[in-house]
Amino acid sequence: MGTEGDAVRVIAGRYRLEARLGRGGMGVVWRATDELLGRRVAVKELAQDDTLSSEEARGRRDRTLREARAVAQLSHPHIIVVHDVVEDGERPYIVMELIDGGSLADRIAEHGPLAPDEAARIGLALLGALRAAHAAGVLHRDIKPANVLLERDSDRVVLTDFGIAQVAGATTLTETGSFVGSPEYTAPERMSGAHTGPESDLWSLGALLCTALSGESPFRRDSLGGILHAVVFAEIRTPPQAAPLLPVVRGLLERDPGRRLGAAEAERLLRAFRDTGRTPPAASSGYTPTRADLPQQGLAQQGLSPSRLGQSAQERSTRGVLIAALLVAAMAGAGVSAAALLVNRDGEGGGSPTSSAPRETTSAAPGPTASGSTGPTAASPSPTGRPSTTASHAASRASDDRPTAPSGYHVADDPAGFSLAVPEGFTRVPQGERVFYMSPGQTFRLGIRIAEPEPGGPLAVLRRAHAGGPDANPGYHDGKVTETTHGARPAALWEFTWDGFSAAEGPRHTYDLCWEEDGRLYDVWVSAPVGKVREAREYFDVAVDTFVTG
């Protein structure tokens, strides 16, 4: 609803601003009349930054006008029509079509979550809009329910507010270096300050679909730091209402942009759902279902073996989260604690790799053997080949080189000569040359081994352990050793699934990282039941990121 008390103004000699429709971080939106053509329009008055010099302000205005005109070239039934881009009194304005209707956010607030068919219809419309924008080299960067308009008395869905869009080869409409967008709907690679592309908009669409189906973003938390952690690290718990569209939602919410569901495949799946009432499996997606995603369907029915149950291979580095925290905190004045953001990495492993097969046992109960991770973690290379090393390993330490524990963890200063962050409630269990930190009931087992270097270095060590895996780990399968780095040091990752030491214990999955440092061989692993691999990866990555020798 507009604010009628505002003084009427005419800008650029033709647009009469009549009532304020809304205000946001990018400026004010007005209901207006184009007096030249006699039609109703919406006009966005972009906010000015009074801290800029006159030269900087002019440069920003020029960028805004240039890039907004590029966005105005987009032509698609589900993209807002930009009629004009003008400047009045050295302030830029974007003139758009006026949509008779509210936003998707308004619809959800007033009437609750959408039915799956309606959510699929809106998702298809937005995918069409995004494909057209991306083909023209335009990234939206702020996909959220408030920026989706639902035209009254028609089925038209309109993607609006390209105010922070990015045009290929250009700077953004907002100040260079500022964090822009809505954190609950922002892709993890944008949070970490990495290069982003069309895949980032698709992540946001996945979060939007969750919100449309359940009424709330899966990344909503009570604090900005909590949101950042949820987006970048925490297990993604899709709402039960998303089950009918689960292959699409989970495929779009794949943290590794290289494995994220593409727009064409997402369209195919949504159309199939609307045609048949069922969503087929994705043909080309990095999405790997977890048991939490399949509450009513057996693994065999889904064609899944326990070894395929897991999280995305790539998690953003803690360093990236710290960068994001600094950017967003600077923007919002949130005062985010870096330590509070040093969170969630899974992993649980078995013994340490040696020339003889590693074994993880305790006097109280059997334990897993050496393990690693199939894909990159904080200490592993990204799928793109760029190293994603644990820079956070150094960033997370206090000035005395002691690690800082994330929320829910404490720093264990071990008598064996190292420190690391372990989850609250874990108990230290020494076992010869190995040290374990066990959860209650030994569901999760975090192991550390320090030894003399071996021929061939960490990679050879873990390859030998992998070769002996079937002897040391009953039912050993799907083992993989990956060469990587830990900090600037050569390292290796090992990941595998096995049957556990007893039928009562059941199948387990193990992650293991091995590296050399200061003339010693270090091995850190975590193992856990296959249904709890995401929690395990969290424990594993936190342990690796915070591990300090001496």
| Residue 334 within any structural domain of the chain | no
Pick the catalytic residue from 34, 142, 523, 541: 142
What is the number of helices (H) and of strands (E) in the chain? 15, 23
Looking at the fold, whether 79 and 109 belong to one and the same domain comes out as no
Among 300, 258, 302, smallest CA distance to 280 is for 302
Instruction: Judge if 91 and 113 occupy the same domain.
Output: no
Q: Does 92 lie in the same domain as 134?
A: no
Here the CATH number for the domain that contains residue 202 is: 1.10.510.10
Q: Do 82 and 117 belong together in one domain?
A: no
Q: DSSP 3-state assignment of 417?
A: coil
Separation between Cα atoms, residue 394 and residue 371, nearest integer Å: 24
Fill in the amino acid letter for 469.
Answer: G
The Cα–Cα gap between 435 and 494 comes to 19
Give the list of residues 6+ apart from residue 56 with CB closer than 8 angstroms, or none. none
DSSP symbol at 3: B
Grade residue 138 by pLDDT with cuts at 50, 70 and 90.
confident
Confidence class for position 296, pLDDT limits 50, 70, 90: very low
In a domain? residue 511: yes
**How many structural domains are present in the chain?**
3
Q: Which amino acid is at 394?
A: A
- The rounded Cα 108 to chain-centroid distance in angstroms is 24
Average pLDDT, stretch 213-224? 89
Q: What percent of the chain has pLDDT over 70?
A: 71
Backbone φ and ψ for 229, nearest 5 degrees, come out as -65, -45
Q: Looking at 58, 80, 97, which one is the last position of a domain?
A: 97
pLDDT reading at 1 higher than 80: no
d(CA 509, CA 531): 9
Residue 64, CB half-sphere, CA atoms under 13 Å: how many? 27
Q: Are residues 387 and 520 in the same domain?
A: yes
Does 371 share its domain with 469? yes
Is residue 232 located within the same domain as residue 109? yes
Q: Does 300 map to a domain?
A: no
Distance CA 275, CA 266 (A): 14
Using one digit for the tens of pLDDT, what is the confidence trace for 348-386?
333 333 333 333 433 333 333 333 333 333 333 332 232
Which element (helix H / strand E) includes 200?
helix 198-214
In this prediction, residue 73 carries a pLDDT of 81
Pair (73, 171) in one structural domain? no
Residue 328 lies inside a defined structural domain of this protein: no
Dihedral sign computed on CA atoms, order 127, 320, 486, 508: negative
Q: How confident is the model at residue 235 (pLDDT cuts 50, 70, 90)?
A: confident
Q: Does the annotation mark 49 as catalytic? A: no
Enumerate long-range contacts of 233-238, CB under 8 Å, 24 or more apart. 233/315, 233/316, 233/321, 233/343, 233/344, 233/345, 233/538, 234/343, 234/344, 234/538, 235/292, 235/311, 235/344, 235/534, 235/535, 235/538, 237/292, 238/210, 238/293
Three-state SS at 65: helix
Q: Are residues 237 and 360 in the same domain?
A: no
130 plus 248 within the same structural domain = yes
Comparing 158 with 50, the larger pLDDT belongs to 158
CATH number at residue 352: 3.40.1000.10
Q: Which of 159-168, 452-461, 471-480 has the lowest mean pLDDT?
A: 159-168
Helices 263-276 and 116-135, packing angle to 10 deg: 150
For 17, 32, 104, the CA distances from 2, given in Å and listed in that order, are 11, 11, 18
The answer to whether residue 448 scores a pLDDT higher than 90 is: yes
The last residue of a domain, from among 66, 97, 128: 97
* Beta partners for residue 493, in sequence order: 482, 513
Q: What CATH number should be reported for the domain holding residue 24?
A: 3.30.200.20
Q: Residue 146 is part of which domain span? A: 104-294
Last residue of a domain, one of 65, 97, 129: 97
Q: Which residue has the tokens 């967008």?
A: 181
pLDDT average, residue stretch 456-478: 90
Cβ atoms within 10 Å, residue 17: 20
